[in-house]
């Protein structure tokens, strides 16, 4: 059972007023981001994980309050985890019937994450050119931004600003890669915010088993460095 508020947003009946205000703020922030950047037809890159599933759900809510907003959905399958990949595709096509399923098969080995990233960017860029979409949406959050800054410090990826001061940049809300416009409307919201949103709507998502592996740099930062730092400085 659902109820719809005066803004056209659907909520489960049990949701508290505090939770309604919270999810409304997240939905409105994406709506305002789209208005500000004149985005009407983004391709939502969805892996089926918690962040991208949250972004997709928010975009579908925005669609109910902005008639001109018509999101598309794309999933890039790297075919590295056959059983999980099949479930992810079934999950995403259930959420969005006309989702584009793109074959981004990569071979395991050194530089796997970089190869997978390049494959995603290439296929999403190709799809963007073949459709009338405005841009690509990815579900990077404030938490991803924080992890990226830590990684770049260790990697010594230090830049200089206009005042010739040394700085470490995180993830930008908007960037262009090979001519492809990529927007990250959740970059001002944390993973905890995403988890709360998903909990309010009782939404499910697909867990990527490789996220537990600390062989990958980001996972090492997320699962080892950040928890130890939080414990040390709490």
pLDDT digits (tens, 9 = 90+) for 103-154: 988 877 777 788 888 999 999 999 999 999 999 999 999 999 999 999 999 8
Please state which of the four CATH numbers 3.90.25.10, 3.40.50.880, 3.40.50.620, 1.25.10.10 is assigned to the domain occupying 2-141+177-215.
3.40.50.620
pLDDT tier at 2, thresholds 50, 70, 90: low
Q: Nearest 5°: phi and psi at 150?
A: -60, -45
DSSP-derived 3-state class of residue 38: coil
**Domain boundaries of the chain, sorted by first residue:** 2-141+177-215
Flag whether pLDDT at 87 surpasses 70. yes
Flag whether pLDDT at 159 surpasses 90. no
DSSP-derived 3-state class of residue 94: helix
Closest CA to 74 of 53, 54, 47: 47
Distances (CA, A) of 145 to 132, 141, 172, 221: 29, 6, 8, 12
Separation of alpha carbons 46 and 76, rounded Å: 8
Separation of alpha carbons 124 and 39, rounded Å: 17
For the chain, what is the largest distance between any 2 Cα atoms, rounded to a whole number of angstroms?
Answer: 57
DSSP single-letter state for residue 48:
S
Residues 6 or more apart whose Cβ sits within 8 Å of residue 156 = none
């Amino acid at each position: 059972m659902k109820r719809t508020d005066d803004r056209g947003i659907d909520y489960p009946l049990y949701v508290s007023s505090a939770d309604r205000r919270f999810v409304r703020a997240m939905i409105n922030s994406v709506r305002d981001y789209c208005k500000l950047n004149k985005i009407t037809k983004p391709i939502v890159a969805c892996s089926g994980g918690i962040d991208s599933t949250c972004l997709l759900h928010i975009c579908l809510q925005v669609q109910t309050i902005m008639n001109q907003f018509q999101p598309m959905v794309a999933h890039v399958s790297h075919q590295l985890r056959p059983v999980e990949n099949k479930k992810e595709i079934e999950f995403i096509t259930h959420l969005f019937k006309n989702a584009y399923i793109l074959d981004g098969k990569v071979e395991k080995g050194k530089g796997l994450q970089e190869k997978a990233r390049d494959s995603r960017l290439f296929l999403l860029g190709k799809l963007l050119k073949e459709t009338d979409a405005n841009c690509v949406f990815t579900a990077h959050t404030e938490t991803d931004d924080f992890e990226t800054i830590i990684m770049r410090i260790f990697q010594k990826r230090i830049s200089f600003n206009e005042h010739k001061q040394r700085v470490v940049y995180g993830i930008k809300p908007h960037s262009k890669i090979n001519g492809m416009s990529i927007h990250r409307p959740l970059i001002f919201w944390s993973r905890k915010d995403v988890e709360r949103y998903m909990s309010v709507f009782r939404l499910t998502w697909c867990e990527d088993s490789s996220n537990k592996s600390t062989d990958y740099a980001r996972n090492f930062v997320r699962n080892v460095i950040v928890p130890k730092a939080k414990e040390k400085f709490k």
